[in-house]
Amino acid sequence: MVYDVIIIGSGPAGLAAGIYAKRARLSSIIIEKEYVSGGQVLNTYEVDNYPGLPGINGFDLGMKLREHCEKLGAEFVTAEVELVSLAEDGRTKLVKTQDQTYEAKTVILAMGARHRMLEVPGEEEFAGMGVSYCATCDGAFFKDRVTAVVGGGDVAVEDALFLARGCSKVYLIHRRDSLRAAAVLQEKVRENEKIEILWDTVVTEIRGHEQVERIGLQNKKTGEKTELPVDGVFVAVGNIPNSKIVTELLQLDKNGYISADETGATEMPGVYAAGDIRAKQLRQIVTAVSDGANAVTSVQNYLNSL
């Protein structure tokens, strides 16, 4: 069977695309790598900026999006996509998984992104033993303990605020002298007595025995090296786009994101990008679902032109 559209990824962008594809009566499947839909939103304790649903739990929002897809009859396939390519006719898209190759007239790429690592000694060794990339997932294990959050964007600041609810002390470590997070989040951090910001500082090493016990720090301006006793380190220094499966099909920007405008259209006719995988100004749930809707509209226009 040749589908009208194959959607790769089941985060907010992929699920929104699935909803719009079914409403447009397009033959489609959603291929998801994980057994639970939602993408990174599943690891968000509280989503307070999604219009109409203030304070909703991230997992609940992901489930609502999935349920909406299922209500409309969307078909899900659990598999890891290995490659997206063109068939010999130069028009049909081939989506290859480990067990099967699917064919489609169009493809929506909604693979999202993954957490960026610090790449310092001890990080891999203590992953799951004090080093975490999801404060909302693991924060409960550090009640009344001392933790550090590394980063300066929205996620890092939100993580620090979340951890401060249960931790005795939270250090927010940032390599620059100002945060990149939204102003309202910065205000909350500065007002929180449990949170201390360490400016112009980078983590050089993570140490301990069976668990994280301390981290090595260096001030970028003075060069001074110090050690900080902590029980946990939460890394929030950005994401890496999951674009490996299209490196042979599309040109990526310097950071590995797919170049596509608001319509989702890429350089390849019939191939569209939506959500965190796309090069754009703002990566939020609300922009991801918008991308998914726009991509399906572009798919319809493309199919009508064939």
Active-site choice (134, 231, 276, 291): 134
Q: Is 134 noted as a catalytic residue in this protein?
A: yes
Judge whether 138 counts as a catalytic residue. yes
Contact call for residues 202 and 225 (beta carbons, < 8 A): no
Of these residues, 4, 138, 154, 291, which one is catalytic? 138
Positions marked catalytic: 134, 137-138
